[in-house]
Amino acid sequence: MKINANQLSSHLQNNLAPCYLVTGDEHLLVDEALDTIREAARARGFTSRDLFVATAGFDWSQLRDSSANLSLFAERRIVELRLPTGKPGRAGSQAIADLAEQTGDDLMLIVSGPKLDRSGQSSKWAKALDARGVSIPVWPVGLRELPGWIAARMRQAGLQPDRGAVAIIADRVEGNLLAAGQEIEKLRLLLGEGKVTAEDVGNAVANSSRFDVFKLVDAALTGDAKRALRILSGLRAEGVEPVIVVWSLTRELRTLATLTDAIEHGLDLASAMQKAGVWRNRQAIVRSCVSRHRHGVFHRLLKLANQADQASKGQLRADPWQLATDIILGMSLSDRQVA
Q: How far apart are CA 192 and CA 17, in angstroms?
A: 39
Give residue 209's pLDDT.
Answer: 46
Residue by residue, DSSP assigns 85-141 as: SS--HHHHHHHHHHHHHH-SSSEEEEEEES---HHHHTSHHHHHHHHHSEEEEPPPP
- Cα–chain-centroid distance for residue 181? 11
Q: Which CATH class is domain 5-137?
A: alpha beta
Give residue 207's pLDDT.
Answer: 44
Domain residues of the chain, as ranges?
5-137, 146-205, 213-338
State the pTM of this model: 0.59
Give residue 192's pLDDT.
Answer: 82
Q: How far apart are CA 221 and CA 285, in angstroms?
A: 6
Give residue 260's pLDDT.
Answer: 94
Q: Under CATH, what is the fold of the domain 213-338?
A: Zinc Finger, Delta Prime; domain 3 (1.20.272)
Question: What number does CATH give the domain 146-205?
Answer: 1.10.8.60
Q: How far apart are CA 85 and CA 114, in angstroms?
A: 7
Give residue 208's pLDDT.
Answer: 47
Mean per-residue pLDDT pooled into runs of 10, the chain (339 residues): 87 91 88 91 88 85 74 72 89 91 89 89 91 91 88 92 90 76 83 87 60 84 92 84 90 94 90 84 90 93 94 90 95 72
